[in-house]
Structure 1
Amino acid sequence: MNIFKRLYAIGKAEVNSVLENFEDPIKLTEAGIADMKDQLTESVEALAQLKALSIRKKNEAEAESLSAKDYYAKAVLLIQKSEKGEVNAADSDRLAKEALKKQTEAQKNAELLRSETEKLQDECEKMQTNIHQLKSNISKWENELRTLEARVQVSEATKDINRKMTQIDSSSAVSMLEKLKERVVQQEAVSEAYSELAKTGKSVDEEIDSLVNNADTEAEKALQKLKKTLKKG
C-alpha cells in the first residue's frame, strides 16, 4: 500500500485534519517510503525469479536444438548404413523416420522455448525499468522528507522566537532598560566612592608632608619671581 492508499484509507475528514499538522505529513511520508522499500524488495525478488526462469528456458531451448541436430545426424547415419548394407533397409527406414519425427518435435520445442525466452526477457526489461523508477522515487521522497524535516525545525524555532517576542511588550522592555540604566549609575557611584576612599586613606604624616612640600614649592616660585623683578629694576 503506497502513501496515497494510506491517505485514502484514513478518510477525507481525518486527512484534512492530519494535513493541518506539519508533523503528520512527515509520518505519512516515512510510511510511504517504507511501503515503497518493501515493494522494491518484492520487485527485486520477483525479477530474480523471472530471470532465473528466462535462463532456464533459454538453456532448454538450446538443449532441444542440439537434440534436433542429433536426431537428424542419427537419421542420416541410419540411411548411410542401410545403403552400405550394414543394417536392414526396412529397419533403417523405420528408425530414420522416427528420428526425423523426433527431430521435428525437438525443433518445435526449441522454437517454442526461444519464443517464451524472448517474452520473459521482455518482462525482465520492463520489471527492471520499474525497479529503476521505484528506486528513483524512493530517493526523491527521502530528499523531500529531509527537506520537510528541516522546514519543521525552522518553523518550530521561528514559532518559539515569535512566542517569546510576543511575551515581551514595549512597557516591559522600557522597564528593563530603566533597571539596567539604574544599575550602571549605581556602579559608577560605587566606583567614585572607592576613589574618594583611596584619597582619604593617607596617613597624617603624608598629609603634612604634602602640604609642606606644596608650601615650599609656592614660596620658591614667589622668590624666583621677586629676583627677576629686582634684576629688571
Structure 2
Amino acid sequence: MNIFKRLFRIGQAEIHAAVDKMEDPVKMTEQGLRELRNDLTEATEAYAKVKALAIRTENDQAHCQQESMNYAEKAILIMQKAQSGQVDLVKAEDLAREALSLRRKYFAEAEELGGQVVALQQSSKEMLRNTEILKSNMEKWEKELRTLKARVKVSKATEQVNKQLAQLDNNGTIAMLERMKAKVEDQEALSKAYGEIARDKNSLKDELNSLLKDDSLSIEKDLKAIKEKLGIQDNTEGNNH
C-alpha cells in the first residue's frame, strides 16, 4: 500500500539536506514522527477493514457452499419423489435440473469467494506485518528523538559556556582580576613589613628598658653603706693602699 512507501521517510535525503542547511533537526524529526503516527493510524484502520472484509467473504463462501449442498440434496430428493410416484417424472426432472443448476451456480460462487478469501487473508497478514514494523520503528525513533533532544540541550549549554569562556577577557575581566591579585599581594607584603618593623622596635625598646632597669650599682652603694656603718673595711680600698 502507498502509506508504507513512506515508512523510512525520516532517513531520506531531503531530511539530511535540511539538517545540513542548519534547520532544526528536532523539529523536523518531530514532524516526521507526527506523519508516521498518522500513517500508523491509517494502516491500522486499513488492516481492520481488510480483515473484516476477509471474514465477511469467508462467511459468504461458507453460505454458498452450504447452498450448493442443499440444492444437490433437493435434486436427489425430487427424483426420489418421482421414483415413488409422488411427483410426475417429467416435472421432477425439470425441478431437478433447476436444483442442479443452482447447485453449480453456488458452487462456482463458493470457489470464487474462496480465492478472494485467500487473497484477502494474505493482504491482511502483509498489512499486519507492515503495521508491526512501522510500530516498532516508531518506538525506536521516538527513543532516538528523546536522546536527540537531550543531546541538543547539552550541546547548547556547552556551547554557551564555551562562548562565555572564549569571550571572558573581552571586557578586561581577567586583567582586572590580575591587577586586584597584585594589589592584594602588595598589601599583604606591606602589612608583613610593618609587622616586622613593629617587632624590631619592640625588641630594641625591651633591650633599652632592660639596661635602664639594671640596679647593680645601687646595690653596691647600699652594701658599702652597711659596711661603713659596721666598721668593716672595704677590701677594695685596702687593696688600693
Q: 2:24 aligns to what SS in structure 1? A: helix
Give the C-alpha shift of residue 141 in structure 1.
Answer: 1.4
Q: Which residue of 2 aligns with 1:25?
A: 25
Give the C-alpha shift of residue 19 in structure 1.
Answer: 2.5
Q: Which residue of 1 aligns with 2:158?
A: 158
Give the C-alpha shift of residue 164 in structure 1.
Answer: 2.0
Q: Which residue of 1 aligns with 2:99?
A: 99
Give the C-alpha shift of residue 115 in structure 1.
Answer: 0.9
Please state if 1:129 is matched with 2:136.
Answer: no
Please show how residues 61-72 of structure 1 align to structure 2 within 5 Å: 61-72=61-72
State the TM-score, normalizing by the size of structure 1: 0.68
Please state if 1:60 is matched with 2:60.
Answer: yes
Q: Which residue of 2 aligns with 1:168?
A: 168
The 8 Å contact of residues 68 and 103 in structure 1, kept in 2 or not, is answered as: yes
Please report the RMSD computed on the Cα atoms of aligned residues, expressed in angstroms.
2.9
Deviations 1:1-34 (Å, cap 9, x if unpaired)?
64467937xxx9xx45x4253x611111111101
The letter of the residue matching 2:175 is S
Q: Which residue of 1 aligns with 2:83?
A: 83
Residue 79 to residue 162, structure 1, CA distance change in 2 (3 Å): same
The letter of the residue matching 1:7 is E
Give the C-alpha shift of residue 44 in structure 1.
Answer: 1.0
Distance 1:82 1:180 in 2: 132
Residue 50 to residue 88, structure 1, CA distance change in 2 (3 Å): same
The 8 Å contact of residues 47 and 128 in structure 1, kept in 2 or not, is answered as: yes
Q: 1:86 aligns to what SS in structure 2? A: coil
Please show how residues 1-233 of structure 1 align to structure 2 within 5 Å: 2-3=9-10, 7=14, 15=17, 18-21=19-22, 24-169=24-169, 170-175=174-179, 177-178=181-182
The letter of the residue matching 2:83 is E
Give the C-alpha shift of residue 46 in structure 1.
Answer: 1.0
Distance 2:47 2:71 in 1: 36
Residue 136 to residue 178, structure 1, CA distance change in 2 (3 Å): farther
Distance 2:186 2:70 in 1: 112
Which protein has the larger Cα radius of gyration, Structure 1 or Structure 2? 2
State the TM-score, normalizing by the size of structure 2: 0.66
Residue 180 to residue 94, structure 1, CA distance change in 2 (3 Å): farther
Distance 1:161 1:180 in 2: 29
Give the C-alpha shift of residue 143 in structure 1.
Answer: 1.4
**Relative to structure 2, which stretch is displaced further, 109-118 or 167-176?**
167-176
Deviations 1:178-219 (Å, cap 9, x if unpaired)?
577689x6xx99xxxxxxxxxxxxxxxxxxxxxxxxxxxxxx
Deviations 1:85-108 (Å, cap 9, x if unpaired)?
011111111111111111111111
The letter of the residue matching 2:94 is R
**Relative to structure 2, which stretch is displaced further, 28-37 or 162-171?**
162-171
Task: Return 5+ residue gaps in structure 2 as ranges.
Answer: 1-5, 193-241
The 8 Å contact of residues 33 and 142 in structure 1, kept in 2 or not, is answered as: yes
The letter of the residue matching 1:19 is D
Distance 1:159 1:41 in 2: 40
The letter of the residue matching 2:33 is I
Distance 1:77 1:179 in 2: 125
Deviations 1:28-71 (Å, cap 9, x if unpaired)?
11111011111111111111111111111101000000101110
Distance 2:130 2:46 in 1: 12
Task: Return 5+ residue gaps in structure 1 as ranges.
Answer: 190-233
